[in-house]
Amino acid sequence: MRIEVAGTSQAKEHYLHLWGMYVRGFKPWHHCFACFYGTQEKAIHKQMEDGTYDLPEPTHYFYLCGVASGPRKDRWKNNLHLAVRPQKGSIATVHSVYGPVFTIHDAEEIEIQGPITTLPHLSTLYTTCKNFRFAAQQFPASKYGPDADREVMRTPLDGN
């Protein structure tokens, strides 16, 4: 896979964080970035320049996330999320509200499930977090949230 980025100069001050993660598992007791088990791609960060970057690590999934600046209660509207799996010949693209366009070649986009309503014991920090929702849909666990076993879920639902 490789990621092509265009329009970053107009957006650098708008993201608190911009990162990419090679996702190899799920820590169901965490939400946000901490719920992922994997390796962060060092080339993706909020000061990155336009260009094409290789995403060389073999992985089940790759997750691109941009955390918007501004009041915490409003960030979700402007956050950036793109979850993909390797797929030769496919292209997945996401347009940031701040202008940049991120295109991942040889990758298929995975739709992220809506807010989780089947786990009423969890706070909205978990059930509305797109990172957690994606990980929970791809790596099933017997328990979720602070009471979950401290065992990393490493077998994806689709078996890839």
The predicted-structure confidence for 101-124, as pLDDT tens digits, reads as follows 999 999 999 999 999 999 999 999
Q: What is each CA distance from 53 to 6, 23, 44, 120, 156, in whole angstroms?
A: 12, 18, 9, 41, 26
Burial class (CB in 10 A: 0-12, 13-18, 19+), 17: middle
Q: Assess if residue 160 is contained within a domain.
A: no
In a domain, 77, yes or no: yes
User: Domain for residue 153, yes or no?
Assistant: no
Q: What's the CA gap between 4 and 90, in Å, rounded?
A: 14
Residue 144 lies in a domain: no
The answer to whether residue 8 sits within a structural domain is yes
Whether 28 and 141 have beta carbons less than 8 Å apart is answered as yes
Pairing verdict, β 2-6 and 61-68: unpaired
Q: How many domains does the chain have?
A: 1
On whether residue 129 sits in a domain, the answer given is yes
- Let me know if residue 150 belongs to a domain: no
What domain range is 75 assigned to? 2-138
Tell me what pLDDT residue 160 has.
55
Beta bridge partners of 63: 21, 83
155 domain-assigned = no
117-146 pLDDT, tens digit each: 999 999 999 999 999 999 999 999 999 999
